[in-house]
Structure 1
Amino acid sequence: MTSPPAGRRHIQDHDAAESSVPHWGYPSRVVPCVNDPGSCAYLDAVYWMHDVSMLYTFIMWAVIGGLLFIILAFRVANPRNSRRPRSKAELESQNVTKGSSFSRAWGAISAWTRRYLLPESLVYFFGHVTRLQIVILCAMLVYLLIFTLVGTVYKSWVTPIEDSPKFNTRTPLGAVGNRVGAFAYALTPLTVALSTRENILSLITGVPYQHFNFLHRWTGRIIFIQSAFHTIAWTIVQAKLYQPQPQVYNEFIVQVYIVMGIIAQILITFLYIFSIKRVIRWTGHEFFRKTHYVAGILYLGFCWGHWTKLACWMIASIGIVFLDRGCRLLRTLAIHLKLKDESKGIGFKAAESKITSFDDGDGGIVVRLEFAHQRPPWRAGQHFFLCFPELTVWQSHPFTPFPSQLQSDARHTYIIRCLKGETSRLPLLPQNASGFANTPVILTGPYGTPILDNTTPNILAIAGGTGISFALPLAAAAAATPTTATDDAPVRRVELIWVIRRARNIEWIQDELNVLLHSHQKNVTVRIFISREPHTLTFNTFDDSKQSPSPSSSSPPISASPIGDEKVARPLSYVMPQHPNLHVSWLEDHHPDMGEIVQEFVGSGSSSVAGGRVQVLGSGPAGMGRDLRAAVAAANDGGKVWRGEEGFDVDLYWDNRYM
């Protein structure tokens, strides 16, 4: 049997209709109703609930837009919103000096908020995310639950069937299923926007795009649950409540829009199952990325075909996807399109990189990737996506660069731990006569919002393993930048904490560490914690002598070698640095206590030259992030900040793309 014409509902008698009343997102209502009284009452309820459902979706987006506007307004009103150094006159003119009530109130509220919402909770269920993100998710769930149940006609009607002794049971189940489905459609642009790199939400909120991944995953799961409920509800209605069976269900299931809905449900089920962390570990991250993207696009298309009257949500979602991909392509072209010469015109030129491999001492390989590239400019803490076309053109990975020798951002240096996937093939590339491997690199970026707060006088940068590529350039940038533009500006206090497993890991950044220590001796302290070696371990030095001094004796300073130096790589040659501002702790079999590190830094702030607020910047394993969030939360004290003790206003930026 053929399906009814588009826009018609089988319960209404279109042939006897005198007119129709349009309803946005739904077939028009036929008037007058010539069905039995029960069916007419049911139609009244269905169309009223549908109109309310459409109103609720608009209200939901009005709330989202309002919250974004409030966040933007708070960012503008923030007395510390400027990332550039400010003169004393500017501070006084804006009434944000240390003693101003507005500045103290702002700091106190910020400190209280961090104290209670910064730590992680229910890690076994939600993963390593802050309480703030969990609160936002719970608020979204409560909103959706309330507006799913409110505005529903809780009544059923038993209506006769012409030329049949059976009866139809009409309930609000189908209408509630439609409301849940409408919410799923309306949430789709949001979950797509939360997943993009070229993220408009980041521009409004100042939150880097990668921090939206948690909400992206959970809004996707909410949509999966909503679509499943929508499918089950209409299956019950068409296969059980409507009679006679199986005739009604057989006519229902073969309609084109139903077939498209079934395919869409299969696709979103696939998206959900293959985004579970355990399944990703089984199938591999690259399989997840490629299938997630393809299945996601197909899902949007089939949702559009399933219910064209609400296609606006799918059109918006597809537009966001293609806008994101287009901006990525334009970024890449802007970096790599160069003028060859007058005869050859413009061509695409990848950056030529040099790779040095290091044994991390635990059976793993870490590579140092270096190349020169004049554009685009980037700030410390931002990251690029790197593609290695010699390995594959279908993958790119996010890595944080630091300027080689900490001197010029035209010189990119990356510290990459080679795990599974394409990065594991980097150490296998053939080496040249100088002992280095070379490979072309395609960049996309830079990504990330400005991280370093130039109005904060105390900077604590913490890194675990290869997270040093994030923390080191921020520490160097902080040491080189005063807190204000005045001549009598206090010296900034900067401390770099680096937790590594083996002493040999120092070789990854030995040149840059040397530059940092000797260029900013007055205000920079570096503390290195070695977690898996005893203090009695001896070392090879740069001259590869068989017997080298013990850690307590004098050893050669770190030697800096430029990128262009073609010396033979020294995979087993490293030294224990010696400098008054460098302190090395040998822990042997445990990690340092993040709480003690933060409390020691905050506690010493009152006697330091700088004084004032504290910004903590960190990158490393997830466990380190959990401990650091708890430590920073405990260090915040809104009451003391209100009384003028700014040292207890401690901010944290945690880089969650640990590579």
Structure 2
Amino acid sequence: MSPHLAFRKLELPTSLTRRSDHFLEGWDANGYDSLKFSFGLAGVEQNGNFFWVNTFGYIFAVVAFALLMLRFSNMFYKHARHLTILSNPERQGYWKLNRSSWWPWLNRHVFMAPLHKKKHNATFQISSAIDNGTLPGRWHSCLLVVYGALNLAWCLALDYSLERKSVVAALRGRTGTLAALNLIPTVLFALRNNPLISILQVSYDDFNLFHRWAARITIIEAIAHTVCWLDNTANSEQGWSAVAAGLRDEGSYGYGMVATCAFTFLGIQAWSPFRHAFYETFLGIHRIMVLLSFIGLYEHLVKHGLPQVPWMHMIFAFYIFEWVARFTWAMYYNFGKQGCRVNIEAMPGEACRVTIHLAREWTPKPGCNVHLYIPSIMGPHSHPFSVAWAYPPNPSSKEHKERSLSQLEGGITLSSPHMQQRTKQISLICRARTGFTRTIYEKACEQPNKCFEAMGFIEGPYGGYHSLDSYGTCLLIAGGVGITHQVMYIKHLLAGAHNGTTATRRILLVWSLPDSESLEWIRPWMDEILRMPDRKKHLRIKLFITKPKGRIEQGNSESVKLFAGRPNWKTLLTEEMAHREGAMAVTCCGSGGLSDTVRAAVRPLTTEGCVDYIEEAFSY
């Protein structure tokens, strides 16, 4: 029997037939039969594979639609509450209470709940030296368990009455198909410009969690796919010589092995202790290995003419769109006639105030964040920071004068509460820890005036999707440098309360900071906030100095109070709950331990009244 007849009998793709003559030379018909479950489609249950692919697609579509409806109904409820309150913001008693019993129960025990006890954002450590990342919440854990269980069930849904080699071949086809399929959500969930983030108003941190777990499932299935091929091939009459010949002479298998090795390396490298200990190094290597795995997988599929090739086209489209979008917006906002300048100033408490002068105006939203690039210090890598402050445009600038004239002609003034203020200058606060933040802090300290200017640019803005405008009471909690997430919310809510565009009647800022020196981080911005109209009527501030270096002076102000030690969150939240006006929002930005403690204190309150909890975390 000729080699070509043998392969036609096995119904292999013609592309494989043309390239396998040299590989099959010297092998008899028995050799071909012993390898039919390794180098052909014999045993690969294509109909079953695509049945489960379609099932996966329908389940994904149903879940996405359900989440979308849930999110839209929640947004509509808040918008209706906001519009209703605007007619009489002093009477919000109706919105203080829950209007159903099932939603608060779900919120308390499912959506807000940690997996066990109260740990969620605090790192899960095997020892003091090994940071093993964070634990997913209860709702996320349910989704991940179902996702993993479905993949396992689909891999095991085989006809075990057939001979062993046929079952192994079927498992090879099933795991390979699912690995290629799961790569689509893996890439989609990793995109910073993922449109689902803004549509569903889900943080990038949550999508990044699903990215990591989808990637782990993809890697496991890719390894299982390769092991099945090795098992059938090594157990043939030719043994390991057939494995070596396949990898050497058939490009598809060689590229497939490259992709599997790259996936395996990615799984090891992305383990939390390695990722967090050397994040910048991890990110650079990660991107290279991702491209290598994509190319290897694409060539593996193309050279066999497999039907999963369009999936790779979709993945490449996602990937290219992401980088084009990031590059386009970065070029637009940072590069122009004046370019982008970054000023770094060393501050007390081992922090830096970073002020970015953009080439073009943009509109920051409360709670948004940007990725900062300073190539001379950290090469092509970036670091995420919350936008702490946006300065008003220069009154003498041409853009400001033109916009002022057009607004006055249309009967709208610059102070109109309905208009977001555009800016060319923003500030960030960077606490010196390790890597990039430590480097810029030490470099600033070395300068005579403790500041320096560098060439850099930002990418963004991202986030800022949570609106607090419909809440009568807003409790803003910050730990350390987490105050940067809350300052713009205070300014926005105070302006809205004065102009009658938000429901806000009570604002309480609780800032837990290590020492009084850290107050200098935001002093000029807080001075401006404290001079805003109706500030004393709506805003109260409680500062907790956790490591005071001397006696804390209480002062005479009723609206700004200083305390020594850590706050009792349960007592503080219970007191605010008792005096709330309308619905209450609790937002928190700080360390993982702080977020977990605040969440534990908020959860019991959700069934006593209308209370929502929002947290910001960068657990990359």
- How do residues 460-499 of structure 1 correspond to structure 2 at under 5 angstroms? 460-482=475-497, 492-499=505-512
Over 3 Å counting, the alpha-carbon distance change for 1:174 and 1:593 in structure 2 is farther
Given that residues 346 and 445 in structure 2 are in contact (C-alpha distance below 8 angstroms), is that contact kept between their aligned partners in structure 1?
A: no
Counterpart residue identity of residue 474, structure 1: Y
Opposite residue 285 of structure 1, the aligned amino acid is: Y
Is residue 2:576 matched to residue 1:581?
A: no
- Return the letter of the residue paired with 2:291: I
Which residue is equivalent to 1:383? Answer: 369
Distance 1:294 1:387, change over 3 A: same
Q: Aligned ranges for residues 182-201 of structure 1 at < 5 Å?
A: 182-201=177-196
- Residue 258 (1) aligns with residue 253 (2): yes
1:453 positional shift: 2.6
C-alpha displacement of 1:269: 1.1
Q: Does 1:350 align with 2:339?
A: yes
Q: CA deviation at 1:658?
A: 7.6
Secondary structure (helix, strand or coil) at the match of 2:284 reads helix
- Structure 1 position 514, deviation (Å): 2.7
Quick one: which of 290, 313, 316 aligns to 1:296?
Answer: 290
* Alignment match, 1:415: 429
Q: Which residue of 2 aligns with 1:324?
A: 322
Aligned CA distance change for structure 1 residues 44 and 258 (closer, same or farther; 3 Å): closer
| Other-structure match for 1:121 | 115
Tell me how far 1:630 sits from its aligned partner: 2.0
Q: What are the within-5 Å matches in structure 2 for residues 162-201 of structure 1?
A: 170-201=165-196
Partner amino acid, structure 2, of 1:551: E
Question: In structure 1, what is the equivalent of residue 407 of structure 2?
Answer: none
**Secondary structure of the structure 2 residue equivalent to 1:46:** coil
Shift of 1:225: 1.1
Counterparts of 1:321 and 1:110, CA distance in 2: 39
Give distance in 2, aligned partners of 1:433 and 1:532.
29
1:390·1:440 contact (CA, 8 Å) conserved in 2?
A: yes
Aligned residue number for residue 610 of structure 2: 649
Distance in 1, matches of 2:489 and 2:221, equals 44
Matched to 1:604, the amino acid is H
Q: 2:601 aligns with which of 613, 619, 631?
A: 631
CA distance in 2, matches of 1:276, 1:436: 37
Q: 1:367–1:417: 8 Å Cα contact kept in structure 2?
A: yes
- The answer as to 2:207 corresponding to 1:207 is no
Which structure has more relative contact order (CA 8 Å, sep 6+)? It is 2
- Which of residues 268, 277, 281 is equivalent to 2:272? 277
- Report the CA distance between 1:90 and its aligned residue: 9.5
CA change 1:581–1:261 in 2 (3 A) is: same
Q: Work out the CA distance in 2 between the residues paired with 1:613 and 1:355.
A: 40
* Matched ranges for 1:370-519 at <5 A: 370-373=355-358, 375-403=361-389, 410=423, 411-427=425-441, 428-429=443-444, 436-482=451-497, 492-519=505-532
Give, in whole Å, the separation in 1 of the partners of 2:232 and 2:105: 53
SS at match of 2:239: coil
RMSD across aligned C-alpha pairs, in angstroms?
3.5
1:46 paired to 2:31: no
Aligned to 1:145, which of 144, 152, 161?
A: 152
Partner residue of 1:236 out of 221, 231, 235: 231
1:12 aligns with 2:5: no
Which range moves more in the overlay, 492-501 or 226-235?
Answer: 226-235
**More helix per residue: 1 or 2?**
2
Equivalent position amino acid for 1:260 in 2: Y
Equivalence for 1:527: 542
Mapping of 1:540-559 within 5 angstroms? 551-552=553-554
Report matched runs for 1:75-114 at 5 Å: 75-78=71-74, 80=76, 86-88=82-84, 98=94, 104-105=99-100, 108-110=102-104, 112-114=106-108
Equivalence for 1:69 = 65
| CA displacement 1:50-95 (0-9 Å, x = unmatched) | 2111121122122212222222223333364566984339999xxx
The alpha carbon displacement at 1:223 in A equals: 1.1
- Which residue of structure 1 lines up, in the alignment, with residue 160 of structure 2? 154
Cα distance, 1:209–1:358 mapped onto 2, change above 3 Å: same
Q: Secondary structure at the match of 1:522?
A: helix
Compute the displacement of 1:197 (Å).
Answer: 0.5
> Are the aligned partners of 1:405 and 1:512 in contact in 2 as well (CA < 8 Å)?
no
Match of 1:594 in 2: 569
Q: Decide whether the 8 Å contact of 1:403 with 1:409 is kept in 2.
A: no
Match of 1:25 in 2: none
| 1:406 to 1:621, Cα distance in 2 relative to 1, 3 A | farther
Structure 1 Cα separation of the partners of residues 80 and 463 of structure 2: 17
Counterpart CA distance in 1 for 2:619 and 2:180 is 33
Larger gyration radius, structure 1 or structure 2? 1
Check if 1:615 corresponds to 2:580. Answer: no
Once residues 323 and 536 of structure 2 are traced to their aligned partners in structure 1, the CA distance between those partners, rounded to angstroms, is 45
Whole-angstrom distance in 2 between the partners of 1:467 and 1:266: 40
Judged with a 3 Å threshold, the aligned counterparts in structure 2 of structure 1 residues 482 and 9 are, in CA distance, closer, same or farther, namely farther
After superposition, what is the alpha-carbon deviation per residue over 1:70-125, rounded to whole angstroms, capped at 9, x for unaligned? 22223333364566984339999xxx994899x823x8515532333313225537
Deviation at 1:268, TM superposition (A): 0.7
CA contact (8 A) 1:68 1:205 kept: no
Q: Is the 8 A contact 1:458 1:494 kept in 2?
A: yes
Runs (5+) with no aligned partner, structure 1: 18-34, 158-168, 341-348, 539-549, 555-577, 606-610, 641-647
Q: 1:651 to 1:406 in 2, by over 3 A?
A: farther
Specify whether residues 582 and 177 from structure 1 end up closer, same or farther in structure 2 by C-alpha distance, changes over 3 A only.
Answer: same
Name the CA shift for 1:99/1:203 in 2 (closer, same or farther; >3 Å): closer
Residues 523 and 328 of structure 1, relative CA distance in 2, 3 Å threshold: same
Structure 1 Cα separation of the partners of residues 71 and 385 of structure 2? 28
CA distance in 2, matches of 1:448, 1:111: 27
Q: List per-residue Cα deviations over 1:193-226 (Å, max 9, x = no partner).
A: 1111101221332212232111111111111111
Q: Which amino acid aligns with 2:529?
A: L
User: 1:191, 1:63 → 2: CA distance?
Assistant: 16
**Partner of 2:417 in structure 1?**
none
Cα gap change, 1:256/1:81 in structure 2, threshold over 3 Å: closer, same or farther? Answer: farther
Q: Is residue 228–residue 265 contact of structure 1 (8 Å, CA) maintained in 2?
A: yes
Aligned residues: 544
Paired AA for residue 9 in structure 2: Q
> Which TM-score applies when normalising by structure 2?
0.79
Cα distance between partner residues in 2 of 1:9 and 1:222: 36
Residues 559-604 of structure 1 deviation map (CA, whole Å, 9 limit, x = unaligned): xxxxxxxxxxxxxxxxxxx6320121101xxx33333332232233
CA drift of 1:354 comes to 3.1
Structure 2 gaps, min length 5: 15-31, 125-131, 394-420
- Return closer, same or farther for 1:636/1:306 CA change in 2, 3 Å cut-off: same
Change (3 A) 1:483 1:512: closer
On the 8 A contact 1:332/1:445 being kept in 2, the answer is: yes
Question: Aligned pair in 2 of structure 1 residues 142, 269: CA closer, same or farther (>3 Å)?
Answer: same
**1:454 counterpart SS class:** coil
Describe the superposition over 1:200-256 as per-residue Cα deviations: whole angstroms up to 9, x where unpaired.
22133221223211111111111111111111122111112x335355444434322
Give TM-score scaled by structure 1 length.
0.75
Distance 1:584 1:656 in 2: 26
Q: Identify the residue that residue 21 of structure 1 maps to in structure 2.
A: none
Compute the displacement of 1:383 (Å): 0.8
Structure-2 change in CA distance of 1:84 and 1:425 (3 Å): farther
Could you tell me which residue of structure 2 aligns to residue 268 of structure 1? 263
Candidates 336, 351, 356, aligned match of 1:366: 351
